[in-house]
A and B are shown apart, each in its own frame.
Chain A
Amino acid sequence: MPKKTYRQAINEALRQEMERDPRVVLMGEDVAGGYGAPGEDDAWGGPLGVTKGLMPIFGRDRVLDTPITEGAFIGAAAGAAATGLRPVAELMFVDFMGVCFDQIFNQAAKFRYMFGGKAVTPLVIRTMYGAGFRAASQHSQCLYPLFTHIPGLKVVLPSNAYEAKGLLIQAIRDDDPVVFFEHKAMYDEEADVPDEAYAIPFGEANVTREGDDVTVITMGRMVNYANQVADKLDKEGIGVTVVDLRTTSPLDRETVLETASETGRVVVVDEAHPRCGMAADIAALVGQECFGSLKAPVRMVTAPHSPVPFSPALEDIYVPGPDRIEAAVRATLDNAVARAAE
């Protein structure tokens, strides 16, 4: 199977879906780039080159550069979706949701309910998230818990290139509004990705490692760190199950509860902040539904309750990494430590 980067996988998913369905259009700031400028056309393909090469194939009527005007074009994507197109809008960095969130959570997310089930809004918002780029507080956040909170939205976090292609194709074919989170530090990471189009269903978590001792539940980039930890501990005879949620909404409750009950020791890893985030959400669910099976308190590994710092020295300790995940896994195995922590 051919190796492709996360970037190539996303580009390929977009191209194949645009070839399949003429109602699929892309829009966003610099998705082609160079519009009206004296130099190269299709100059950027997005700031990190993810959509490069699509405009020359599909033309400017289907790859729509926008002014820097998220409130207008994210809303336009919602309005276009409700009237017959299947737009894929790029909200460059999820941090920019502040200027267009109304159009996402008050408009697109609510059309179907407010209009008594008569609206269909097949909208995809692709957006970059995550720290590690030295991009500081306004270009590094993991705001997917905010979107997960909103009924009417679906929230997707692909953990590698294979997942990215299959989940994006599903997102484009889905009839509900989907927010698709791409980790900006993963675009050059490679995986085996089939050439043909395939869709990965939403709400079906992927168990990437199986072990008998501890269950690590996570999503997005953190899945890779959890896998590294599982592989390392396996050599010591510690069995770690890793659950890649794939989508935080819908949530695969069944797999979460089954894998949590099987080991009785659970670590939830979330790159977002700890308060009202995915880690707290999953920990509460496991605590409520699996109380009788638990052998240790559920542990949360998250970023701190602080903005993302700029300095590399600070950012490197800010982002949860394999070391912290490993320490949490070991702590759940040491019941004495676990009890003392309470």
Chain B
Amino acid sequence: MQLSREDLLKAFERMCLIREFEDAVHEEFSAGNIPGFVHLYAGEEASGVGVCMHLDDRDNIASTHRGHGHCIAKGVDVAGMMPEIFGKKTGLCGGKGGSMHIADLGKGMMGANGIVGGGPPLVCGAALTAKTLKTGGVAVAFVGDGASNQGTTLESFNLARVWNLPVIFVIEDNGYAESTASSWSVSGSQTERAKGFGMPATEVDGHDFFAVWEAAREAIERARAGEGPSLIHVRLKRYYGHFEGDAQTYKGANENEETRANKDCLMLFRRRVGEAGLLEGEELDAVERSAKQRVEQCLLQAKAADMPTEADLLTDVYVSY
């Protein structure tokens, strides 16, 4: 299977949309317009999109604190996401979830998660549903390097193997769990850990969309064929702090600038498709412009939208009570 022109345009569009979305949220948060805790995915776009290009609505993903990119990669509409992050009634979750709990179950997006390591067990459950109801679906747990040390993640490796579930664990290792280096906090190697559980595992450069896409293709094909779980260790960098407001003093001097200059996933994508003569520069420029306009439009709508009211406070706790 190869990427068609349409696939390439879609992948670039989603990566650009994530970048524009996160840059806009960064600006708005800095201006004091967004409440709460926000964790941005800029720089990591090739990972979420490289994986989710293989998925459709019968497939589920669970995300991390850093969930906006996974939403967009899975096809969640930014028009619902932006007001959610502003806490507006028109948001995807009625303003009750916010950035850390943004979800769209209809799109198979089981939520960003405020609990580090919260997602992997949930994904085992989604995979069990797919297996039991024979939907052909798979489930992907996006996991940070921080969550890779949680018991729930390691327990899920074991359960996914024991139950032979169609799960893909994607460890997005951006080098830092909050401010602590993964080179210090993770013992052994991610791929060797997975192999210890009897899972196929591979390590990829997370700035290279094509490398992620290829690794995910193999893992997802295995899962769909009933051959059980796999792990992909994605190495990448985030451009912003752990949370917005993080001064990032733990990073190396010029680390963000060097990554942006040498390893930016959008730049690498452009270079690759340009060199291979797959897409024209003008086509890519148009995609970028369109993503920017889309985010600007969402921002205007989100700012203009109403806040929830007291009548919304106690709804949605139960289906019936």
The digit string for B115-136, where 1 denotes a CB below 8 A from any CB of A, is 1001011111110111011000
The digit string for A274-311, where 1 denotes a CB below 8 A from any CB of B, is 00000000000000000000000000000000000000
Please tell me which stretch of B31-39, B156-164, B185-193 contacts chain A, meaning at least 4 of its Cβ atoms lie within 8 angstroms of it.
Answer: B156-164
Residues on A with beta carbons closer than 8 Å to the beta carbon of B152: 71-72, 75, 102-103
Please tell me which stretch of A109-117, A186-194, A218-226, A233-241 contacts chain B, meaning at least 4 of its Cβ atoms lie within 8 angstroms of it.
Answer: A109-117
Please tell me which stretch of B209-217, B261-269, B311-319 contacts chain A, meaning at least 4 of its Cβ atoms lie within 8 angstroms of it.
Answer: B311-319
In the assembled complex, the Cα of A71 lies from the Cα of B129 at a distance in Å of 18
State how many residues of chain A have any CB contact under 8 Å with chain B: 48
* Cβ-based interface call for A38 (8 A): no
Q: With a 10 A CB-CB cut-off, give which of B101, B110, B121, B316 has the most chain A CB atoms.
A: B121
Please tell me which stretch of B88-96, B248-256, B288-296 contacts chain A, meaning at least 4 of its Cβ atoms lie within 8 angstroms of it.
Answer: B88-96
CB-nearest residue of chain A to B121? A75
Contact yes or no, B320 A176, CB < 8 A: yes
Contact yes or no, A113 B126, CB < 8 A: no
Q: How far is the CB of B111 from the nearest CB of chain A, in Å?
A: 7
Residues on B with beta carbons closer than 8 Å to the beta carbon of A80: 125-126, 128-129, 132
Please tell me which stretch of A10-18, A61-69, A261-269, A316-324 contacts chain B, meaning at least 4 of its Cβ atoms lie within 8 angstroms of it.
Answer: A61-69
Contact yes or no, A103 B118, CB < 8 A: yes
* Cβ-based interface call for A157 (8 A): no
Contact yes or no, A73 B115, CB < 8 A: no
CB-nearest residue of chain B to A108? B122
* Cβ-based interface call for B277 (8 A): no
Contact yes or no, A81 B105, CB < 8 A: no
* Cβ-based interface call for B63 (8 A): no
When A and B form their complex, which 6 residue pairs have the shortest distance between CB atoms, in order from nearest? A75-B121, A79-B125, A79-B122, A116-B94, A116-B93, A117-B316
Please tell me which stretch of A82-90, A127-135, A139-147, A206-214 contacts chain B, meaning at least 4 of its Cβ atoms lie within 8 angstroms of it.
Answer: A82-90
In the assembled complex, the Cα of A23 lies from the Cα of B94 at a distance in Å of 29
* Cβ-based interface call for A118 (8 A): yes
Contact yes or no, B121 A71, CB < 8 A: yes
Interchain CB contact (< 8 A) of A113 among B110, B121, B151, B316: B316
* Cβ-based interface call for B155 (8 A): yes
Residues on B with beta carbons closer than 8 Å to the beta carbon of A62: 132
The digit string for A87-123, where 1 denotes a CB below 8 A from any CB of B, is 1000000000001001100110011111111111000
Residues on A with beta carbons closer than 8 Å to the beta carbon of B321: 154, 176, 203, 250
Contact yes or no, A71 B155, CB < 8 A: yes
Contact yes or no, A78 B121, CB < 8 A: yes
Contact yes or no, A25 B132, CB < 8 A: yes
Q: How far is the CB of B24 from the nearest CB of chain A, in Å?
A: 22
Q: How far is the CB of B29 from the nearest CB of chain A, in Å?
A: 20
Residues on B with beta carbons closer than 8 Å to the beta carbon of A203: 321
In the assembled complex, the Cα of A69 lies from the Cα of B163 at a distance in Å of 13
Residues on A with beta carbons closer than 8 Å to the beta carbon of B129: 79-80, 83-85
Of residues 140 through 156 on chain B, the ones whose CB sits less than 8 Å from some CB of chain A are 151-152, 155-156
CB-nearest residue of chain A to B91? A116
* Cβ-based interface call for B60 (8 A): yes
* Cβ-based interface call for B298 (8 A): no
CB-nearest residue of chain A to B62? A79
Interchain CB contact (< 8 A) of A120 among B96, B111, B151, B319: B319
In the assembled complex, the Cα of A87 lies from the Cα of B163 at a distance in Å of 15
* Cβ-based interface call for B103 (8 A): yes
* Cβ-based interface call for A257 (8 A): no
Whether A72 touches B158, Cβ cut-off 8 Å, given contacts A83-B60, A112-B318, A116-B316, is yes
Contact yes or no, B105 A75, CB < 8 A: no
CB-nearest residue of chain A to B137? A83
Contact yes or no, A103 B121, CB < 8 A: yes
* Cβ-based interface call for B200 (8 A): no
CB-nearest residue of chain B to A62? B132
In the assembled complex, the Cα of A81 lies from the Cα of B320 at a distance in Å of 16
CB-nearest residue of chain A to B308? A116
Residues on A with beta carbons closer than 8 Å to the beta carbon of B101: 110, 114-115
* Cβ-based interface call for A74 (8 A): yes
Whether A69 touches B316, Cβ cut-off 8 Å, given contacts A78-B121, A82-B125, A114-B97, is no
Given A79-B125, A102-B118, 20 more pairs with CB closer than 8 A: A25-B132, A62-B132, A66-B159, A66-B162, A69-B155, A78-B125, A79-B62, A79-B110, A79-B123, A79-B129, A79-B139, A82-B125, A83-B125, A83-B126, A84-B133, A106-B118, A116-B92, A116-B94, A120-B319, A154-B321
CB-nearest residue of chain A to B152? A71
CB-nearest residue of chain B to A77? B125
In the assembled complex, the Cα of A112 lies from the Cα of B319 at a distance in Å of 8
CB-nearest residue of chain A to B131? A61
Interchain CB contact (< 8 A) of B132 among A85, A117, A118: A85
Residues on B with beta carbons closer than 8 Å to the beta carbon of A56: none
* Cβ-based interface call for A326 (8 A): no
